[in-house]
Amino acid sequence: MKYSLGGRLCIHRLGAVALAILICAAPAAADYPIQAGDVIEVSIGGLVDFHQRAVVQQDGTISFPQLGTISVDGSLASQLRAKIRAALVGKTVRQRSPDGRTLPIAIEPDDVAASIVEYRPVYVMGDVSKPGQFAFNPAMTTRQAVAMAGGYDTLHVGSKSSFLLASDVQSEISGVMVQLAGLALRETRVRAELSNLETMGEPRAPDVQVPATTFSALLRAEQELFKTNRVEHSAEKEFLDRSIKQSIQVIEDLNKQLKQEVASATFDAGDLEDMRGLQAKGYASKARVSETRHSASAGLNRRLQIYTQLDAARTRNEESQKHLAQLESQRKIKLLEALKDCTIKQVELRSRLNGLRDKLRAISTTHAQSVRGTYQSPKIVVIRKEHKGRERLSVDLDFELHPADVIEVTIEVDDANGEVAGE
């Protein structure tokens, strides 16, 4: 059995319908066509839980569980309510009663309410303090939109902007000059290291204007870096030189020992031969011959150990010499790379410095041309999307806006002759 919303639900219906009337009575300032981005809310009087919202999609449709998909693109607010009412009337929804029962409720025409609860934002651009997008409110005017954007901004118009721009450019020029001075000192330090000088020497005066304290700080930093690099390189070089000298001394000592052992081996071989001859004649015992043989064998073992130690010492010497050569070559490569980077960066910074100086001259010229001018009244143009395309409307501050309107604010300067500067 189906029920209409009556009896104990009448109070709920009356309250919800009254709320729907209030919502529907506050449309936008003008009954504008609904488009993608608007948020639609549908409610049914008496059904407290039935408050559903949907965003209008790019294809101009909205979707609700009870409605399905409906095309609303271009519909006016009144047409939207009629479409949704027609789609819902006659359908049945289930409502839980206060006693816990679930009742099927037939939707009647007066039960349905539909309204736009969120509008597409408006956009403010041009000569305002805070350009951007802002939430749209019903009956919103151009004056309110400009106020939300922080009001007019004359600091970026005419001669007043010249002071700010000139200050910014001059600050950039000062920063570039400091970088150039630092690179020049770095180049001096790198060249001194390449030439194996004991000190950096006196740097040439910078060809850019840099505060004396800044230049002194940069010079101290490069001098400390020069000393640190020199001490570190000298320590590594001295270690390798010492290792090479030690290995050479070891090789010389081992060669002397080897020479002595070779001479001793010659004597031991002759002695062994004599002992064997005496043994054959019966003048030398077997033990004496064995002792001579052991002495010759011990000499051979000593020579083998010396040969092994010689190979190890020669290997250490070759490795130390190789590391010393690598130390010098890698240091030179590193310094040459640093010198190349300095040159490239200096060229880039000088090009940037020339551009900034040209910009500063252009700002000065613009300032001279506009300093005698006066500001015109702001020109406000509203760009509105219609079915036939976008339309540009010249408006005043009391013009009522539509959602998604773009407000363009322009403030121009008259020159001394009363003409707009730049025309």
Instruction: Please report, for the chain, the start and end positions of each structural domain, with discontinuous segments joined by +.
Output: 38-118, 122-152+378-410, 159-372
Map residue 356 onto helix, strand or coil: helix
Q: When comparing pLDDT for 306 and 287, which is higher?
A: 306
**C-alpha to C-alpha distances, 198 to 184, 222, 231, nearest whole angstrom:** 19, 14, 10
- Alpha carbons 302 and 314: distance in angstroms, whole number: 18
**C-alpha to C-alpha distances, 350 to 10, 84, 183, 356, nearest whole angstrom:** 83, 69, 11, 10
- The answer on pLDDT for 345 being more than 90 is yes
pLDDT of residue 327: 86
User: Per-residue pLDDT averaged across 86-113, rounded?
Assistant: 75
pLDDT of residue 179: 92
- The answer on pLDDT for 15 being more than 80 is no
Residue 64 in tokens: 């609700």
**C-alpha to C-alpha distances, 199 to 65, 97, 238, 333, 398, nearest whole angstrom:** 85, 97, 19, 20, 76
- Alpha carbons 179 and 182: distance in angstroms, whole number: 5
**C-alpha to C-alpha distances, 229 to 189, 218, 321, nearest whole angstrom:** 10, 17, 21
User: Per-residue pLDDT averaged across 301-329, rounded?
Assistant: 86
pLDDT of residue 21: 37
Q: Which fold has domain 38-118?
A: wza like fold (3.30.1950)
Lowest mean pLDDT among 109-118, 321-330, 411-420: 411-420
- The answer on pLDDT for 357 being more than 60 is yes
How many alpha carbons lie under 13 Å from residue 73 in its C-beta half-sphere?
A: 11
Mean pLDDT of the chain: 78
Which residue in 30, 38, 107 sits closest to 72, CA to CA? Answer: 38
Q: What is the band of 6 on the pLDDT scale with cuts at 50, 70, 90?
A: very low
| Eight-state DSSP code of residue 400 | B
Lowest mean pLDDT among 42-46, 244-248, 316-320, 367-371: 367-371
pLDDT of residue 210: 86
- The answer on pLDDT for 380 being more than 60 is yes
Neighbours of 292 (CB within 10 A): 20
- The answer on pLDDT for 102 being more than 80 is no
Long-range contact pairs involving 178-181 (C-beta distance under 8 Å, separation at least 24) = 178/210, 178/214, 178/218, 179/345, 179/349, 180/206, 180/208, 180/346, 180/349, 180/350, 180/353, 181/206, 181/208, 181/210, 181/214, 181/215, 181/218
pLDDT digits (tens, 9 = 90+) for 69-96: 888 887 887 788 888 888 777 777 777 7
Q: Is 167 exposed, middle or buried (0-12, 13-18, 19+ CB in 10 A)?
A: exposed
- What strand order describes the sheet that includes 112-118? 51-55, 39-44, 112-118
User: Per-residue pLDDT averaged across 106-131, rounded?
Assistant: 84
User: Per-residue pLDDT averaged across 260-284, rounded?
Assistant: 65
pLDDT digits (tens, 9 = 90+) for 18-59: 334 333 434 443 466 788 888 888 887 766 667 788 888 888
pLDDT of residue 56: 87
- The answer on pLDDT for 293 being more than 60 is yes
- The answer on pLDDT for 212 being more than 60 is yes
Q: What is the band of 167 on the pLDDT scale with cuts at 50, 70, 90?
A: confident
User: Per-residue pLDDT averaged across 51-68, rounded?
Assistant: 81
Task: Flag whether the pTM goes above 0.85.
Answer: no
Q: When comparing pLDDT for 270 and 92, which is higher?
A: 92
Dihedral-angle region of residue 333 (phi above 0 means left; psi in -120 to 50 means alpha; beta otherwise): alpha
Which residues on neighbouring strands pair with residue 408, listed in sequence order? 125, 381
Angle at CA of residue 382, ends 376 and 386, nearest 5°:
160
Cα-Cα-Cα-Cα torsion 194, 196, 201, 203, nearest 10 degrees, comes to 0
* Contacts of 33 by beta carbon, 8 Å cutoff, 6+ apart: 73, 74, 75, 76, 387
- The answer on pLDDT for 67 being more than 50 is yes
pLDDT of residue 9: 40
- The answer on pLDDT for 421 being more than 80 is no
Which residues on neighbouring strands pair with residue 92, listed in sequence order? 106
User: Per-residue pLDDT averaged across 264-286, rounded?
Assistant: 63
Q: When comparing pLDDT for 265 and 321, which is higher?
A: 321
Angle at CA of residue 104, ends 99 and 110, nearest 5°:
105
Which residue in 59, 53, 87, 93 sits closest to 74, CA to CA? Answer: 59
- Alpha carbons 158 and 410: distance in angstroms, whole number: 12
Which residues on neighbouring strands pair with residue 62, listed in sequence order? 70
- Alpha carbons 63 and 18: distance in angstroms, whole number: 25
pLDDT of residue 336: 94
